Amino acid sequence: MQVVFGFKKFKIRGYPLPRVVAIGTFDGVHKAHRRIIKTAVQKAKIFKGTSIVLTFSPHPAKVTRSSKLPDLITSIAHRLKLIGELGPDICIIVDFDKKFANISASDFVRGILKQKLGASFVVVGENFNFGKKKAGNVAYLKKRQRIFQIKPIVLPAYKKGVKTVSSSQIRNLIRTGKIKQAEAMLGRTFSIIGIVEKGARRGAVLGFATANIQAHQEVLPPGGVYAVRAKVGKKWYRAMLNIGYRPTFYKTNAQMAIEAHIFNFNRKIYGQTIEIQFISRIRKEKMFSNTQDLRKQLLLDKHKIKHIFRRVL
Q: What is the pLDDT of residues 25-50, one digit of tens each?
A: 999 999 999 999 999 999 999 999 99
* HEC per residue, 97-116: CHHHHCCCHHHHHHHHHHHH
Do 6 and 126 reside in the same domain of the chain? yes
Looking at the structure, do residues 150 and 230 belong to the same domain, yes or no? no
Specify whether 14 is located in the same domain as 149. Answer: yes
pLDDT in tens, 167-213: 999 999 999 999 999 999 999 999 999 999 987 667 666 778 889 99
pLDDT in tens, 115-127: 999 999 999 999 9
Please tell me the least confidently modeled range out of 48-62, 64-78, 130-144.
64-78
Shared-domain flag, residues 11 and 131: yes
Considering the domain boundaries, does residue 180 fall inside one? no
> What pTM value is reported for the model?
0.90
9 pLDDT band (50/70/90 cuts)? confident
Q: Look at residue 250 in the predicted model and tell me its pLDDT.
A: 67
Q: Give residue 146's domain range.
A: 2-164
Could you tell me if residue 183 is inside a domain?
A: no
Shared domain check, 280 and 138: no
H/E run at residue 40: helix 31-46
The answer to whether position 176 is within a domain reads no
Query: Are the C-beta atoms of 136 and 130 separated by less than 8 Å?
Result: yes
272, part of any domain: yes
Same domain, 121 and 195: no
Classify residue 200: in a domain, yes or no: yes
Residue 174 lies in a domain: no
Angle between helices 167-175 and 179-186 (to 10 degrees): 160
**What is the distance between the alpha carbons of residues 39 and 36, in angstroms, rounded to a whole number?**
5
* Phi and psi based region of residue 224 (left: phi greater than 0; alpha: psi -120 to 50; beta: remaining): left
Confidence band of 218 (pLDDT split at 50, 70, 90): confident
Q: Is residue 199 part of a domain?
A: yes
CB 222 within 8 A of CB 175: yes
Number of domains in the chain: 2
